[in-house]
Chains A and B, each alone.
Chain A
Amino acid sequence: MITQAIIKRKKAVLPYVTAGVPSLDVTGEIIQALEEAGATAIEIGVPFSDPMADGPVLQKASYMALQAGFNTDDLLARLKGWSTSLHIPLIVMSYINPLMRKGLQRTLKSLHLSGVKGVIIPDLPRDAQEIYTDCREIGLDLIRLVAPTTSKERHSEILGQCSGFVYAVSIKGVTGQRNALPSELRAQVGMIRNFTDLPVCIGFGVSTASQVEELHSFADGVIVGSFLMDRIMNSQDPVRTAHESLRELLNDIQA
């Protein structure tokens, strides 16, 4: 379903929002607004106390959510309602520890039952074959990240255990906005396409409409996280801000 949604949309945009910022109630409203603004799918981020792949903005978002009393069971309880009311796929992005706490398999099953279509885990173990197999059996896509440093051999291993789409990490670095994205990105996406027919979406560092437009010329989709969360955290009206910010990024793209 995630694959279809991205292919159908062509110039896909996948916003990321940290769950529980400023509250789970508002997160629910934000994702509705993002669908209306033209999102192709939505990534719900599970806050984590030690987000080692995240830059300052998403660190702060995690911290705020946890300070506000976020807990995983509350999120699981909400996801069902959210996925039912949306027409686009929900994806959960989480560090592995919160997913493992009550058993990884059990948590993945709960996510599936809540209508979540895929998961992204930035700190999967090196050998993720077993987790991939579990996801397939449960009916979840396991979206894998491919980095600019990833070797050819590793491409083949990762992309043989990937479904939904491929998450191409644009930069060597943590999440967060960048003024310029590396010129090798096009070649990186080309490399990925040698190994898979899955759609390729680019994330990390995207924050302007012109970047989105540029990336759409060779990738199937763009993921936007820190840019949105920075706006949301600094807004008096986060729902409206989320909507406006995504519209701004989509610029002249037909939603």
Chain B
Amino acid sequence: MKGYFGEFGGQYVPETLLPALEELDAAMGKAFDDKCFWDEFNSYMVNYVGRPTPLTHAKRLSDLLKLEVWLKREDLNHTGSHKINNAIGQILLARRMNKERIIAETGAGQHGVATATVCALFGMECHVYMGSTDMARQQVNVERMRLLGAEVIPVTSGSATLKDATSEAIRDWITNVDTTYYLIGSAIGPHPYPSLVRSFQEIIGREARHQIISMSGSLPDAVIACVGGGSNAIGIFSAFLNEDKVDLIGVEAYGRGNGRHGASINFGIPGVLHGTRSFLLQDKNGQVLETHSIAAGLDYPGVGPEHSHLAVTKKARYVLVNDEQTLAAFRLLNRLEGIAPALESAHAIGYLSQYCNGHEGNKVLVNLSGRGDKDIHTVIGSGS
């Protein structure tokens, strides 16, 4: 069915928003068929974002783990993460739709910064909803957004994290639906957002596939990416979905374990949140559970519907890395490769020390989705 990935996805939204989703769907279809749109997108990717991002052979990490580790360097994008790919794509679409007011939600602040950046670039009004808990732990990004001219609106309801910021952005959209474009940051939400966001993130997979083949001579044995909503993961997976021999591995945030995590696919039950049906962390009454991850960008009880579909059809598998393992990975990558990964991306690095058991010598492609400058305080604050 249109707008679904198997049994997941759909449009579970208040009636007020349906016409806006139809309008977006139509605009997306038209833009995607237009070569000029992609020419413009690619031109910004090259001349503004700094693409293609490098593929780095992590030699010392490889030696330590007895693996062949390749890092797709999305941390080197302008604004410091893969989020800018989607923000550029969607702002170009919003311009075509003649929307003048942009709203967004953000967790770690990376998507907020990316959105504030493209709004500054195109002279558009920008409002970013952010949970007050996240504002406290990602203060640098809050200041960056404000410098870029965005209004950052604290959200104090619920757990005051990404899920609540998303609900508040949707409420704003319902209220200002005529003038406002909702620039969603991950492959979540009602159709067409999961497909839209994926389309702009596929550039990661396209580049990485080409790079790893030309630099190492063949496809990787495994592709590893962290999964909160799952946009960086779907972006890199997309180029390998038809390769049966490539093990696609999404890493979910296992937080402090035992009910204090963000691992929707591993522990969730299909349900509806923010307009889409997907695996969802919920209690026996269908109330959405509070989540925890040291990485604000993974602190979300749902997951993009395409990942749920990939999980049940076994095209990808989803594993767990906890806060402690993530912090260790953060430190390890700093020491061995001179790279500070975002705590989100450090989950993907953290999985390597589990993966290396039994996969000696394997070639792995890891999506290093963002840089960790924003997380230095959290890491220092964690002691150890």
Q: Are B14 and A123 in contact (CB under 8 A)?
A: yes
Chain B, residues 145-172, CB within 8 Å of chain A (1/0): the string is 0000000000001100001100100110
Number of chain A residues whose Cβ lies closer than 8 Å to a Cβ of chain B: 43
| Cα of A149 to Cα of B22 in the assembled complex, Å | 12
Interface of A (DSSP majority class): loop
Q: Are B287 and A98 in contact (CB under 8 A)?
A: yes
| Cα of A151 to Cα of B18 in the assembled complex, Å | 9
Given the interface pairs A126-B10, A172-B175, A173-B175, the reply to whether A50 lies near B158 with Cβ below 8 Å is yes
- Nearest to B13 among chain A residues (CB) is A123
Q: Are B14 and A52 in contact (CB under 8 A)?
A: yes
**Other-chain residue from B20, B170, B176, B282 in contact with A101 (beta carbon distance below 8 A):** B282
Q: Kindly state whether residue B380 has any CB partner on chain A within 8 Å.
A: no
Q: Are B274 and A52 in contact (CB under 8 A)?
A: yes
| Cα of A216 to Cα of B176 in the assembled complex, Å | 27
List of B residues within 8 angstroms of A54 by Cβ:
171
Q: Are A52 and B272 in contact (CB under 8 A)?
A: no
Q: Kindly state whether residue A125 has any CB partner on chain B within 8 Å.
A: yes
| Cα of A47 to Cα of B167 in the assembled complex, Å | 15
| Cα of A172 to Cα of B157 in the assembled complex, Å | 22
Given the interface pairs A49-B158, A50-B273, A173-B175, the reply to whether A148 lies near B16 with Cβ below 8 Å is yes
Q: Kindly state whether residue B47 has any CB partner on chain A within 8 Å.
A: no
Q: Are B19 and A154 in contact (CB under 8 A)?
A: yes
- Nearest to A99 among chain B residues (CB) is B286
Chain A, residues 39-72, CB within 8 Å of chain B (1/0): the string is 0000000011111111100010001001000111
Q: Kindly state whether residue B11 has any CB partner on chain A within 8 Å.
A: yes
Q: Kindly state whether residue A22 has any CB partner on chain B within 8 Å.
A: no
Given the interface pairs A53-B14, A150-B15, the reply to whether A127 lies near B1 with Cβ below 8 Å is yes
Given the interface pairs A53-B174, A55-B171, A172-B178, the reply to whether A100 lies near B19 with Cβ below 8 Å is no
| Cα of A125 to Cα of B14 in the assembled complex, Å | 9
- Nearest to B157 among chain A residues (CB) is A59
Most chain B beta-carbon contacts within 10 A, residue among A49, A51, A158, A174? A49
What are 8 A-B interface contacts by the 8 Å CB criterion? A50-B158, A50-B288, A72-B285, A99-B286, A126-B18, A154-B15, A172-B174, A173-B174
Interface residues of A (CB under 8 A from B): 47-55, 59, 63, 66, 70-73, 95-101, 122-127, 144-151, 154, 158, 169, 172-174
